[in-house]
Structure 1
Amino acid sequence: MDQTEQGKPAQFEAVRAKLFALAYRMLGSRAEAEDIVQDAWLKWHAADASELRSSVAWLTTVTTRLAIDRLRHLQMERATHSGGWLPDPWLDGLAPSAEDLALRAVQMSYGVMLLLERLKPEERAAFVLHEAFDCDYAEIAKILAKTPAHCRQIVHRAKTRLQREGVPAKRADPAAHARIVERLRAAMEAQDRLALVRLFCEVPSVVSDAPELVDAVASAEQVAATLAMRSNGDQTETVSMNGASAVALMRDGEVDTLLDISIGEDERIVALRIVTGALRLAPATRVFGRAAILRLLQPISSEAASVTMRGHLPVDIDA
């Protein structure tokens, strides 16, 4: 094995987090993204390194094309999903991994991730590469085997369609968004239905992987009643989800529900995404649940610190 071949594992690991972030943005699934990155590694391992001019460009191209092929099959499956489909939420970890840090660098809101499902696979690839990874049209053209002018048209059409579907021309002010999320969390914790009603526009858009929740809401009053019932007995927490503030409902130290919102110009909630699926929430529990926090506190505890528990999470440390 020559020196070029010996360096291939290190070259792959150097861009692995970026490849994972790209595959996740393309597929909306952590498990599928992991499979795509593994497939990219197998192709990279088999490739002749001496013939590769740029490892990063080669791996980005392979990962994108693998994701496009996989997305074609996934979109057909998701179109017939009886329970409704939502992207896997991504919670920023208490102790960020390389993948967490890579995703923070290419933030794309959960609402946009959901609407990306409306795009064709090549449209989604061009949009993600241009908007999230700052690739120019010449780079995208090489990846998709098209002309730069054609790629420009694809991205323009994708932006137009997403805006028509509800993606705002510009992202809401993060401070305003975080303020409304905290008010939502506080109102749910207090079981204050009137405060909840006031937070929403008259007829908010509601999407969930639980059909019974969508069927139950059509007005601000119905949303308020549903959220109050859903949060009864749960601990409410504010978390960072896909780069923006969101509400997590915790029960017995595990994430039970995630709530992602979009706000309008008047700072009322115009769209609500409710994630309840146990498999989809399992990764969120691993990074934010009781066990994750206790693991994070373990070095402190090992130095004879005492941890006081209140409810489900540790809240007081007496070193």
Structure 2
Amino acid sequence: MVDVVACGELLIDFTPVQQKEKPGSIAFEQNPGGAPANVLAALSRFGKRTSFIGAVGNDVFGRFLQQTLIRLNIGTKGLVLTEEAHTTLAFVHLDETGDRSFHFYRNPGADIMLREQDVNEALIAQAAIFHFGTLSLTHEPARSATWRAVEYAKQHQRLLSFDPNIRASLWEDLEEAKALALKGMAKADIVKLSEEELAFLVGSEDVVEATAWMLGQYDLQAVFVTLGEKGCFYRTRNNFGTVGGFQVTAIDTTGAGDAFVGALLYQLLEVGESMLDIPQATLEDMVRFANAAGALTTTRSGAIPAMPTLSEVKSFMEAAR
């Protein structure tokens, strides 16, 4: 049995590292990344059983990523090493606050070479939760493969978690990005998105109004809007509110949202109830834990390497109290 299966991109993040011996010169550190894989890494650090569906190149980077998953106890039965393209690379650029932007080398990249016949449906069938995003929807054949995985999860009544994770530079048409993200939302049970993504997809910066529209439009159980250091706004069928964040000195925000998702899904698995049945106080505790995981991740470099353990999150929350 598997707790969570994710489908999507697994790639190399080249993260900038200042070189003290060469002022003004920047070196790039190779780190494993990709939003769905980051979510699984967080869950695995918390002791949950996870498995990944996606494609990497049959090259030195792809084999490094394969070994990274194995080392983290993330199942690799759904991982394809393709000869059709090199492993996708993303160069991460950080501003003075640690906030990041990306420059992708993906023309094409191995992550978009996942085919429908590559989707390991047996993995999805034995999972409690299926997680996906939009980076695997930008191009074929990965787009059709992702939708096949989503439909299979839906048919088998798995809980569907969705993070739009819009990267504008990867889309030839932002209206298509919006349409496909809204389609993903229509398939999902739980959606996590940022303030910017909410404004882009719904057309409103008012989180109360926009999330109310989302739950009115789609058959969602819950929406979570991450607000950076301000915390997270949540809305379910029964309640809504904001849970404050944690003050940290951020050095790299890469993967913070994925740590949030992983921590939230971990809490949901631990509670063992439908999101619709969880009392508001318990839900706010879950969001607080997820906020802590996300904040702690920003104090470290990289995405997967920065994912905290369960004891680290608990200690961090205790110290913050």
Structure showing greater radius of gyration is 1
| TM-score scaled by length of structure 2 | 0.31
In proportion to residue count, which structure has more strand? 2
| TM-score scaled by length of structure 1 | 0.31
In proportion to residue count, which structure has more helix? 1
